[in-house]
Homo-oligomer: A and B are copies of this chain.
Protein backbone atom coordinates (compact mmCIF):
# COMPACT_ATOMS: atom_id res chain seq x y z
CA UNK A 1 0.00 0.00 0.00
CA UNK A 2 1.63 3.21 -1.14
CA UNK A 3 2.18 5.89 1.40
CA UNK A 4 2.59 9.60 1.22
CA UNK A 5 6.17 10.53 0.72
CA UNK A 6 6.30 12.45 3.94
CA UNK A 7 4.75 11.39 7.17
CA UNK A 8 4.89 14.80 8.78
CA UNK A 9 4.82 18.24 7.34
CA UNK A 10 5.90 20.38 10.23
CA UNK A 11 9.29 20.83 8.63
CA UNK A 12 9.35 24.47 7.65
CA UNK A 13 7.61 27.16 5.68
CA UNK A 14 7.09 26.07 2.13
CA UNK A 15 6.08 22.62 3.21
CA UNK A 16 2.42 23.00 2.38
CA UNK A 17 3.70 22.97 -1.16
CA UNK A 18 5.30 19.60 -0.62
CA UNK A 19 2.32 18.30 1.23
CA UNK A 20 0.01 19.11 -1.62
CA UNK A 21 2.40 17.70 -4.14
CA UNK A 22 2.68 14.49 -2.18
CA UNK A 23 -1.09 14.10 -2.43
CA UNK A 24 -1.59 14.84 -6.10
CA UNK A 25 1.85 13.96 -7.44
CA UNK A 26 1.05 10.43 -8.53
CA UNK A 27 1.73 9.80 -12.16
CA UNK A 28 -1.89 9.85 -13.24
CA UNK A 29 -3.61 11.69 -10.44
CA UNK A 30 -3.45 15.06 -12.11
CA UNK A 31 -5.22 13.97 -15.28
CA UNK A 32 -7.72 11.90 -13.40
CA UNK A 33 -8.63 14.82 -11.19
CA UNK A 34 -8.83 17.04 -14.22
CA UNK A 35 -11.26 14.71 -15.95
CA UNK A 36 -13.36 14.30 -12.84
CA UNK A 37 -13.53 18.05 -12.58
CA UNK A 38 -15.68 17.87 -15.72
CA UNK A 39 -18.09 15.46 -14.07
CA UNK A 40 -18.77 11.98 -12.80
CA UNK A 41 -17.21 9.15 -14.78
CA UNK A 42 -17.20 5.38 -14.78
CA UNK A 43 -14.01 3.40 -14.49
CA UNK A 44 -13.61 2.56 -18.13
CA UNK A 45 -14.61 6.01 -19.20
CA UNK A 46 -11.67 7.40 -17.28
CA UNK A 47 -9.48 4.68 -18.64
CA UNK A 48 -10.34 5.57 -22.20
CA UNK A 49 -9.72 9.24 -21.62
CA UNK A 50 -6.42 8.79 -19.90
CA UNK A 51 -4.55 7.13 -22.67
CA UNK A 52 -1.63 5.03 -21.62
CA UNK A 53 -2.78 4.16 -18.15
CA UNK A 54 -3.09 0.49 -17.30
CA UNK A 55 -6.02 -0.95 -15.45
CA UNK A 56 -3.88 -1.72 -12.47
CA UNK A 57 -2.45 1.77 -12.28
CA UNK A 58 -5.81 3.42 -12.69
CA UNK A 59 -7.31 1.32 -9.92
CA UNK A 60 -4.34 2.20 -7.84
CA UNK A 61 -4.48 5.93 -8.35
CA UNK A 62 -8.23 6.03 -7.87
CA UNK A 63 -7.93 4.15 -4.59
CA UNK A 64 -5.35 6.58 -3.36
CA UNK A 65 -7.44 9.53 -4.40
CA UNK A 66 -10.36 7.95 -2.63
CA UNK A 67 -8.50 7.28 0.57
CA UNK A 68 -7.18 10.83 0.53
CA UNK A 69 -10.74 12.01 0.39
CA UNK A 70 -10.71 13.54 -3.06
CA UNK A 71 -12.82 11.02 -4.88
CA UNK A 72 -16.06 9.29 -4.07
CA UNK A 73 -16.49 5.78 -5.38
CA UNK A 74 -20.03 4.56 -5.86
CA UNK A 75 -20.66 0.91 -6.63
CA UNK A 76 -23.94 -0.09 -8.20
CA UNK A 77 -24.69 -3.71 -7.44
CA UNK A 78 -25.50 -4.63 -11.00
CA UNK A 79 -24.24 -7.00 -13.54
CA UNK A 80 -22.17 -6.10 -15.39
CA UNK A 81 -20.54 -4.02 -12.66
CA UNK A 82 -21.02 -0.30 -12.60
CA UNK A 83 -18.78 1.95 -10.57
CA UNK A 84 -18.89 5.69 -10.69
CA UNK A 85 -16.22 8.10 -9.62
CA UNK A 86 -16.88 11.67 -8.68
CA UNK A 87 -15.13 14.42 -6.78
CA UNK A 88 -15.87 15.12 -3.17
CA UNK A 89 -16.04 18.63 -1.83
CA UNK A 90 -12.39 18.30 -0.90
CA UNK A 91 -11.64 17.08 -4.38
CA UNK A 92 -13.36 20.06 -5.92
CA UNK A 93 -11.35 22.32 -3.66
CA UNK A 94 -8.33 21.29 -5.68
CA UNK A 95 -9.72 22.97 -8.76
CA UNK A 96 -7.54 26.07 -8.51
CA UNK A 97 -4.45 23.91 -8.19
CA UNK A 98 -5.34 21.68 -11.11
CA UNK A 99 -6.26 24.64 -13.25
CA UNK A 100 -3.01 26.40 -12.39
CA UNK A 101 -1.09 23.30 -13.40
CA UNK A 102 -3.04 23.09 -16.62
CA UNK A 103 -2.62 26.75 -17.45
CA UNK A 104 1.10 26.65 -16.93
CA UNK A 105 1.44 23.44 -18.91
CA UNK A 106 -0.51 24.78 -21.84
CA UNK A 107 1.52 27.94 -21.91
CA UNK A 108 4.92 26.42 -21.34
CA UNK A 109 5.17 22.81 -22.30
CA UNK A 110 5.92 22.37 -25.94
CA UNK A 111 4.52 19.17 -27.21
CA UNK A 112 7.23 18.96 -29.83
CA UNK A 113 9.72 18.34 -27.08
CA UNK A 114 11.81 21.44 -27.52
CA UNK A 115 13.45 22.76 -24.46
CA UNK A 116 15.09 26.09 -23.98
CA UNK A 117 17.80 25.69 -21.40
CA UNK A 118 20.07 28.56 -22.22
CA UNK A 119 18.26 30.98 -20.02
- A76 close to B (CB within 8 Å): no
Question: Which A residues from 3 to 19 make CB contacts under 8 A with B?
Answer: 5, 7-19
**A34-B14, A102-B17 in contact; A93/B108 too (CB < 8 A)?**
yes
- A103 close to B (CB within 8 Å): yes
Number of copies: 2
Q: How large is the interface on A (under 10, 10 to 19, 20 to 34, 35 or more residues)?
A: 35 or more
Complex contact A114–B14 (CB within 8 A): no
How many whole Å from A113's CB to the nearest CB in chain B? 4
Complex contact A20–B97 (CB within 8 A): no
- A83 close to B (CB within 8 Å): no
Complex contact B111–A20 (CB within 8 A): no
**What would 26 A/B residue contacts be, using CB atoms closer than 8 Å?**
A8-B111, A8-B112, A8-B113, A9-B109, A9-B111, A10-B112, A10-B113, A10-B114, A11-B50, A11-B51, A11-B52, A12-B51, A14-B30, A14-B49, A16-B106, A17-B30, A17-B33, A17-B102, A20-B101, A20-B102, A20-B104, A20-B109, A69-B116, A69-B119, A93-B104, A97-B104
